[in-house]
């Protein structure tokens, strides 16, 4: 029995912003609320209601705003303890909630099934995307797709609950008064996100990044899978790749999917100790790090060496001139998207082979290793399997 204290989960900037948007919508529509709840993890069958307290409530004619203070749990990041604000107004921007001029056309119109049109903007302290290779497009506020979905869904549900006219247009501005200052502690500027923080998250919950917490969870998940009769397990870097792997291997979805985070080497070793074959699932950036021999893939442990990526692309079939052009890419994701645009799919197969070889080397051929490389919409780019030594 470990004597490590159990670490408390926190909540992402995405779920925090969605809670603020839900509160502001209810306030706008005449509800007197001091707290709201969201079902988290987002889009999970096991989601439970989580309450968020509203702060700095303000209302005026045709608009309302409020904030929620982000709780990062026991492994807080640069945004822990800061207020995320949302203003919601009928057909216009609420006073004091001016949008940041990200691009034209303004907003992200989205019509809910009820007919209510919802536009979401980034305001003060929310960064603007200036380079390719990120989940949000150039010129847009740095609000990733899942948080954007959470914000819209929360506003739509609240509007429907409060009996909003189905012909209404609701304009939502998400802001972070301390965002520009807090962003200095992040890598946003290096990635081309200017002027503030990013609104992030894939399921609304922050899992503490403690090594002891992660490795203990990996061990426990593998033990449960083995006890249930599973002979192989899915190893995913994050929630997105884990879900993609579960969809591809539904027979392993219930109890043999391991969220290994960045502890790739540990997860491979732990599976080999239990004589369980593995399926490593992930996206381009993490695969590039693993192909380079980095078995701890967090940014603080292994930055993506662009010269190493360039050499790998040459090994995979690009000319030196073609590979050299990748030096100007902002992120590995941008490189991936360029390769897709150019139809260079053989590079993905080459990368998957190299990842499989690295993983097999790590476990000394003791178990079979399959790797599946997904694109950023969870489509399979390459799939390779290397059998354990002695197997046909």
Residues 50-73, mean pLDDT to the nearest whole number: 95
Domains belonging to the chain, first-starting first, are: 10-206 (3.30.2110.10), 211-386 (no CATH)
pLDDT of residue 304: 55
Using CA atoms of 12, 17, 23, 28 in order, give the dihedral in degrees to the nearest 10. Answer: -170
In this prediction, residue 297 has a pLDDT band, given cuts at 50, 70 and 90, of low
Q: Regarding beta strands 232-236 and 277-282, do their DSSP bridges make them parallel or antiparallel, or are they unpaired? A: parallel
Whether 215 shows a pLDDT value over 50: the answer reads yes
Whether 246 shows a pLDDT value over 90: the answer reads yes
Residues 6+ apart with CB under 8 A from 250: none
Whether 299 shows a pLDDT value over 50: the answer reads no
In this prediction, residue 6 has a pLDDT band, given cuts at 50, 70 and 90, of low
User: How confident is the model over 251-277, as pLDDT tens digits?
Assistant: 998 788 998 888 999 999 999 999 999
Residues 6+ apart with CB under 8 A from 134: 142, 191, 192, 193, 330, 331, 333
Residues 6+ apart with CB under 8 A from 5: none
* Cα–Cα distances in angstroms (integers) from residue 102 to residues 99, 137, 142, in the given order: 8, 10, 10
Q: Regarding beta strands 205-206 and 55-60, do their DSSP bridges make them parallel or antiparallel, or are they unpaired? A: unpaired
Task: Give dist(CA 152, CA 123) in Å, integer.
Answer: 16
In this prediction, residue 162 has a pLDDT band, given cuts at 50, 70 and 90, of confident
In this prediction, residue 339 has a pLDDT band, given cuts at 50, 70 and 90, of very high
Inter-residue contact 148 to 109 (CB < 8 Å): no
pTM for this one? 0.69
pLDDT of residue 93: 74
Return the minimum-mean-pLDDT range out of 91-100, 257-266, 329-338.
Answer: 91-100
DSSP character for 335?
A: H
Mean pLDDT (the chain, rounded): 87
In this prediction, what percent of the chain has a pLDDT beyond 70?
A: 87
Residues 6+ apart with CB under 8 A from 127: 141, 142, 179, 183, 188, 193, 194, 195, 196, 197, 198
């Amino acid at each position: 029995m470990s004597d490590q204290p159990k670490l408390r989960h926190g909540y992402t900037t995405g779920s925090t912003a969605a809670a603020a948007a839900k509160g502001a919508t209810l306030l706008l529509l005449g509800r007197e609320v001091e707290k709201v709840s969201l079902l988290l993890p987002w889009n999970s069958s096991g989601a439970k209601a989580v309450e968020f307290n509203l702060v700095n409530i303000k209302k005026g004619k045709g608009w309302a705003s409020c904030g929620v203070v982000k709780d990062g749990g026991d492994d807080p990041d640069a945004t822990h303890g800061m207020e995320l604000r949302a203003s919601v107004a009928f057909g216009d921007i609420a006073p004091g909630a001016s949008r940041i001029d990200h691009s034209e056309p303004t907003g992200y119109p989205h019509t809910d099934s009820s007919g209510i049109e919802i536009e979401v903007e980034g305001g003060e302290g929310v960064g603007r995307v200036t380079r390719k290779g990120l989940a949000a497009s150039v010129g847009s506020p740095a609000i990733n797709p899942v948080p954007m979905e959470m914000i819209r869904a929360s506003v739509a549900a609240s509007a429907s609950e409060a009996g909003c006219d189905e012909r209404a247009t609701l304009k939502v501005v998400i802001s972070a008064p301390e965002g520009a200052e807090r962003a200095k502690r992040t890598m946003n500027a290096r990635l081309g996100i200017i002027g503030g923080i990013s609104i992030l998250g894939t399921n609304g919950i922050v899992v503490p990044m403690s090594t002891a917490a992660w490795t203990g969870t990996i061990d426990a998940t593998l033990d449960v899978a083995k006890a249930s009769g599973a002979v192989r397990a899915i190893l995913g870097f994050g929630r997105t790749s884990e879900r993609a792997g579960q969809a591809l291997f539904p027979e392993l979805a219930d109890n043999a999917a391991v969220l290994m985070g960045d502890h790739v080497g540990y997860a491979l070793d732990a599976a080999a100790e239990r004589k369980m074959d593995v399926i490593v699932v992930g996206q381009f950036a993490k695969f590039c790090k693993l192909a380079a021999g980095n078995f701890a893939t967090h940014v603080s442990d292994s930055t993506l060496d662009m010269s190493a990526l360039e050499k790998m692309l040459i090994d995979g079939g690009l000319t030196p001139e073609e590979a050299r052009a990748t030096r100007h890419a902002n992120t590995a994701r941008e490189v991936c998207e360029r390769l897709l645009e150019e139809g260079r799919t053989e590079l993905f197969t080459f990368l998957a082979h190299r990842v499989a070889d690295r993983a097999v080397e790590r476990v000394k051929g003791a178990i079979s290793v399959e790797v599946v490389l997904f694109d950023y919409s969870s489509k399979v780019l390459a799939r390779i399997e290397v059998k354990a030594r002695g197997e046909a």
